Amino acid sequence: MKITGLKMFLGGDGSRPLRKQLSLTLAVVFTGSILVVILLLDQLFGWQAKDLINQRSVFFMDTMLAVRQYTSKQVNPVIAPLNEGGGAFRPEAVPSYSATTVFEYLRGSKPEYKEYSYREATLNPTNLKDKSDTFESEVIASFRSSPAQKVITGERNTPLGSYHFVARPIKVTSQSCLVCHSTPDRAPRSQILAYGDSNGFGWKIDEIVGAQIVSVPQNTVFRAKRESLLATVLLLAAVFSAVALVANSILNRLILQPMRLISKKAEEASVTPSTVSFTEKNRADEIGQLAKSFERMKQSLAISMQMLKDRQKP
């Protein structure tokens, strides 16, 4: 049963015309290979998409860290003295403020950044817009319970779509932070006036108070992946169809046409062998061999017929 199935598929059981057999075999081979290609490319494009998303989020996080650093090193020394005076508090001196503000500008600059997000989520923040939500609080709790952990990455499914996130802990690393984040009486008056004295205080040295979290949307990248896959499959199908057409025409020209001709001549030769000439016998290929065999058979037939005739003569 198995063998007959294989024979039918490869062609060789003679149950259908060669052209149909070739088309059937090619269709099975091509469909099979396209399916395998889809499976493999789906995996490969999937890895590539994930890698791209990961690269984007790491770059995004590094950029935000650089903005923070620039603010600490270059902007803060210039602006901080202003906050000591009685004037309005200048948040430009605060790294967290500059990072979130730069991000807002970035987000506003192009529609494709609309879904990106950068958060300095904090359990007890100075600016209440930095208050961690449930998901962010869980990430912070996980950093607090294992302080050696430097980064958490993962996927997050929300009603708006699926996101890849990268999170890093925010730790109170220097005593200078405690000026503004320990007790209200140590903080500049201007800060109290701007943010109040009830939140963003009580932080301790070496405490993990929050997490920087970048989120990058995955939907657009995965859509692009699906489109590439579809384009590749369509391209393969087009190439395979072209190959099938060419193979069919080669089969027709090389084998079927000469065979039909020889078969017609053989039929003629079975009645009047002397009028038929298998001219294809001069060919060097298998068709030539077939024609030579027929030519020999024709000659034998002619001799036999002649002998019969001679015998019938009185």
Q: Which residues bind ligand HEC (CB under 6 A)?
A: 83, 91, 93-94, 96-97, 100, 120, 122, 125-127, 130, 170, 172-174, 176-177, 179-181, 188, 191, 195, 200, 210
**How far apart are alpha carbons 243 and 21 in whole angstroms?**
15
- Pick the closer one to ligand HEC by CB: 108 or 161: 108
CB of 135 to ligand HEC, least distance (A): 17
CB of 159 to ligand HEC, least distance (A): 26
Strand-pair category, 161-171 with 152-158: antiparallel
CB of 150 to ligand HEC, least distance (A): 16
Cβ atoms 58, 212 nearer than 8 A: no
- Pick the closer one to ligand HEC by CB: 94 or 266: 94
- Pick the closer one to ligand HEC by CB: 116 or 195: 195
Beta strands in 150-270 (DSSP E): 152-158, 161-171, 208-217
Cα–Cα distances in angstroms (integers) from residue 202 to residues 14, 126, 130, 197, 198, in the given order: 89, 11, 16, 11, 10
- Pick the closer one to ligand HEC by CB: 57 or 126: 126
**How far apart are alpha carbons 296 and 298 in whole angstroms?**
5
Cβ atoms 94, 71 nearer than 8 A: yes
CB of 166 to ligand HEC, least distance (A): 16
- Pick the closer one to ligand HEC by CB: 84 or 286: 84
- Pick the closer one to ligand HEC by CB: 203 or 278: 203
Angle at 252 between CA 294 and CA 241, to 5 degrees: 155
**How far apart are alpha carbons 67 and 118 in whole angstroms?**
12
CB of 109 to ligand HEC, least distance (A): 20
CB of 195 to ligand HEC, least distance (A): 6
Element (H, E) at 305: helix 286-312
Angle at 61 between CA 56 and CA 65, to 5 degrees: 145
CB of 79 to ligand HEC, least distance (A): 9
- Pick the closer one to ligand HEC by CB: 21 or 96: 96
The 8-class DSSP code of residue 147 comes to T
